[in-house]
Chains A and B, each alone.
Chain A
Amino acid sequence: MTEAGPSRTPCIGVIANPVSARDIRRIVANAGNLQITDRVSMLLRMLGAAGSTGVKKVLMMPDSGGVSAMLLRSLQRELQLQHNFPQIEFLDMSPTTTVNDTLLAARMMRDAGVKAIIVLGGDGTHRAVVRECRDIPIAGMSTGTNNAFPDMREPTITGIAVGLYASGKLSAAQALVQNKLIEVSINEGERRDIALVDAVISTDRFIGARALWKIENLAAVYLSFAEPQAIGLSAIGGLLQPVGRREPGGLAITLSDDPLLRRVQLLAPIAPGMVRPVGIAHWEAMPANQPFTVALDAGVVALDGEREMTFDSGDRVQLTLIENAFPTVDVAACMQFAACNGLLRLSSQPT
Chain B
Amino acid sequence: MAASNPFPLSKEALLTCYRTMRTIREFEDRLHVDFSRGDIPGFVHLYAGEEASAVGILTHLGDGDRIASTHRGHGHCIAKGVNVVEMMKEIYGRTGGCGNGKGGSMHIADLSKGMMGANGILGAGAPLICGAALAAKYRKKNEVGICFVGDGASNQGTFLESLNLAAVWNLPVIFVVENNGYAESTSRDYATAVNSYVDRASGFGIPGITVDGTDFLAVYEAAGEVIKRAREGGGPSLLECKMVRFHGHFEGDAQTYRAPGELEDVRVNHDCLKIFSAHVVSAGVISSDELAAIDKSVLALIEDSVQQAKAAPLPTLADLTTDVYVNY
Contact = CB atoms under 8 A, between A and B. Distances in A.
Contact of B225 (A19, A24, A94, A205): A24
B198 A69 contact: no
Contacts of B225: 24, 27-28, 209
Interface string B239-261: 01010000000000000000100
B226 to A, nearest CB: 6
B188 A24 contact: no
Interface string B192-222: 1111101100100001111100010110111
Given A24-B209, A27-B237, A33-B208, A208 B217 contact: yes
A33 B198 CA distance: 8
Chain B binding surface SS class: mixed
Contact of A70 (B7, B194, B215, B237): B194
Contact of A206 (B211, B217, B229): B217
Contact of A24 (B195, B222, B279): B222
B217 A94 contact: no
Interface in B180-198: 181, 188-189, 192-196, 198
B154 to A, nearest CB: 12
B294 interface: no
A26 interface: yes
A207 B207 contact: no
Chain A binding surface SS class: loop
Contacts of A312: 283
A66 B194 contact: yes
A69 B217 contact: no
A35 interface: yes
Contacts of A24: 209, 211, 221-222, 225
A189 interface: no
A345 to B, nearest CB: 41
Nearest to A300: B6
Contacts of B189: 64, 66, 68-69
Interface in B75-97: none
A69 B222 contact: no
A23 B195 contact: no
A97 B199 contact: no
A65 B218 contact: no
B199 A35 contact: yes
B75 to A, nearest CB: 21
A274 interface: no
A9 interface: no
A94 B194 contact: no
A94 B181 CA distance: 13
Interface string A61-73: 0001110111000
B213 to A, nearest CB: 11
A22 interface: yes
Contacts, number: 94
A209 B218 contact: yes
Interface centre among B208, B209, B240, B259 (most CB of A within 10 A): B209
Contacts of A68: 189
A79 to B, nearest CB: 19
A7 interface: no
A87 interface: no
Contacts of A75: none
Nearest to B223: A209
Interface string B274-293: 00000100010000000000
A30 interface: yes
Contacts of A33: 198-199, 202, 207-208
Given A36-B199, A64-B181, A27 B207 contact: yes
A207 B242 contact: no
Contacts of A94: 259
B259 A35 contact: no
A207 B217 contact: yes
Nearest to B259: A94
B195 to A, nearest CB: 3
Contacts of B283: 205, 312
A65 B221 contact: no
A210 B212 CA distance: 10
B263 to A, nearest CB: 14
A21 to B, nearest CB: 9
A65 B6 contact: no
B194 A36 contact: yes
Given A94-B259, A206-B217, A207-B218, A23 B209 contact: yes
Given A33-B198, A64-B188, A209 B221 contact: yes
Contacts of B242: 97
B236 to A, nearest CB: 11
Given A33-B208, A64-B189, A70-B194, A205 B6 contact: yes
A94 B193 CA distance: 21
Contacts of B195: 36, 64-66, 69-70
B217 A22 contact: no
A22 B207 contact: no
Given A27-B222, A66-B196, 12 more contacts: A22-B240, A24-B211, A26-B198, A27-B207, A27-B237, A37-B194, A65-B196, A206-B6, A206-B217, A209-B211, A209-B225, A210-B218
Interface of A: 18-19, 22-24, 26-28, 30, 33, 35-37, 64-66, 68-70, 94, 97, 204-210, 298, 310, 312
